[in-house]
Amino acid sequence: MSIRELDRQYVANTYKRFPVEIVSGKGSVVRDTDGREYIDMGSGIAVTSFGVADEIWQKAVIEQIGKVQHTSNLYYTEPCAKLAEALCTRTGMKKVFFSNSGAEANECMIKAARKWAAENKGADCFTIATLKNSFHGRTITTLAATGQAHYHELFQPLTPGFVSVDAGSIAQLDEANAKTPLAAVMIECIQGEGGVVPLDPAYAKALSGWTKKNDVLLLIDEVQTGNGRTGALYAYMNYGLQPDAVSTAKGLAGGLPLGATLLGERLEGVLGYGDHGSTFGGNPVSCAAALSVLSRIDADLLADVRRKSRMVFEALDGAPGVEAVSGIGLMIGVKCVRPAAEIVTKCIERGVLFLTAKDKVRLLPALNIPDELLMKAVNILKEAAAE
């Protein structure tokens, strides 16, 4: 049987795959079984931060694999401790819990918020407000946090204790808080799966003020927006916010599974021995990869992400067949006149892999994609949109 047939027969049918079988790649170019090359504008959904088979990243991973690949959390390891230090130093957060995915990073954030609220505001204070159109993961609890009803329908009953409010409305937070005292508000600075929709800065500021005034925690999901993606180390920094906790994953380890929950001053002491755990969490190979990735996300790289972003916006704004361009940094959504899926299919035929998010074509290229490849891909998108 061909790989495609094997996959269809034996892999759970949860993914609608594109007709491309990727076997290798280098940087922002991936190759299929026939040796055909594609410009990779999705980087595995914002995961391969420095592209595929990047040499610096590979070196960090191979070096650690040669020493020890896993120890369990019963013992200390250098990559785990040093990565936690790097994350705290660069954000001002106080402690890090490591897991393996975005959903798990959010689960930890939710557990920490619930424990803090029970201890500080009373046993009846556990409700977390999230935004409509948000996406926080696929576990039963993070689905409950996700403010999109169509994800919920088949999996009732979900974890109780979540309420969703419209982004932009402080009044709805007041209402929710009056009905049942809120423990936290959880947001994405840019809704990724929701269609690359950035929060209005004035609302983000008002929301932050509201959480402070009401002694409610501010939790920020940076699973997709984090680790340089928006031209800042974390997207909340673009907004001048001070979160109580931040979750991240996708691009953190540049292609290996790793989730991190960063806890600020109010939450640093909330999780004690036995309160949470993960067998694979903080895996030394993933942490060594993340240390390498983080060390390269410096001021120069972030400025370059912003410069590349401006090039893309300038090329696409007002282009024929393009209705709107949204996003920050290298997290960009393009609303076209033609359906996004149709444009993505056309671009695959022309050698470029784009993603979709709701009704938009989504761009999440590697942070170091060469200008030439970036603009070649953007021009192919422009052509497809204009047809």
Ligand X SMILES: *Cc1c(COP(=O)(O)O)cnc(C)c1O
Considering only 64, 224, 230, 326, the residue that binds ligand X (CB under 6 A) is 224
Q: Which residue is nearest to ligand X (CB)?
A: 102
- Is 240 strand, coil or helix? coil
Q: How far apart are CA 28 and CA 33, in angstroms?
A: 17
Residues 6 or more apart whose Cβ sits within 8 Å of residue 171: none
Asked if the peptide bond before residue 365 counts as cis, ω within 30 degrees of 0, the response is no
Does residue 137 bind ligand X (CB under 6 A)?
Answer: yes
Site for ligand X in 160-189 (CB under 6 A): 188
Q: Which is nearer to ligand X, 229 or 382 (CB)?
A: 229
Counting Cβ atoms within 10 Å, is residue 169 exposed (0-12), middle (13-18) or buried (19+)? middle
Considering only 193, 217, 232, 236, the residue that binds ligand X (CB under 6 A) is 193
Tokens 């896993």 map to which residue?
70
Q: Which is nearer to ligand X, 46 or 216 (CB)?
A: 46
Does residue 107 bind ligand X (CB under 6 A)?
Answer: no
- Is 55 strand, coil or helix? helix
Least Å distance, CB 103 to ligand X, is 3
Strands ordered across the beta sheet of 22-26: 22-26, 29-32, 37-40, 352-353
Residue 70's identity, in one-letter code, is H
Q: Please, are residues 83 and 290 in contact by the beta-carbon 8 Å criterion?
A: yes
Of 134-142, 153-161, 209-217, 333-341, the window that binds ligand X (rule: CB under 6 A) is: 134-142
Least Å distance, CB 130 to ligand X, is 11
Taking CB under 6 A as the rule, which mask of x and - marks residues 291-330 in contact with ligand X? ----------------------------------------
Residue 75's identity, in one-letter code, is Y
Considering only 136, 229, 308, 360, the residue that binds ligand X (CB under 6 A) is 136
Does residue 131 bind ligand X (CB under 6 A)?
Answer: no
Does residue 135 bind ligand X (CB under 6 A)?
Answer: yes
Least Å distance, CB 357 to ligand X, is 10
Does residue 83 bind ligand X (CB under 6 A)?
Answer: no
Of 60-68, 129-137, 204-212, 262-270, the window that binds ligand X (rule: CB under 6 A) is: 129-137
Q: Which is nearer to ligand X, 107 or 244 (CB)?
A: 107
Q: How far apart are CA 137 and CA 65, in angstroms?
A: 29
Of 57-65, 170-178, 216-224, 294-302, the window that binds ligand X (rule: CB under 6 A) is: 216-224
User: Which residues of this protein are in contact with ligand X, per CB under 6 A?
Assistant: 101-103, 106, 135-137, 188, 192-193, 221, 223-224, 249-250
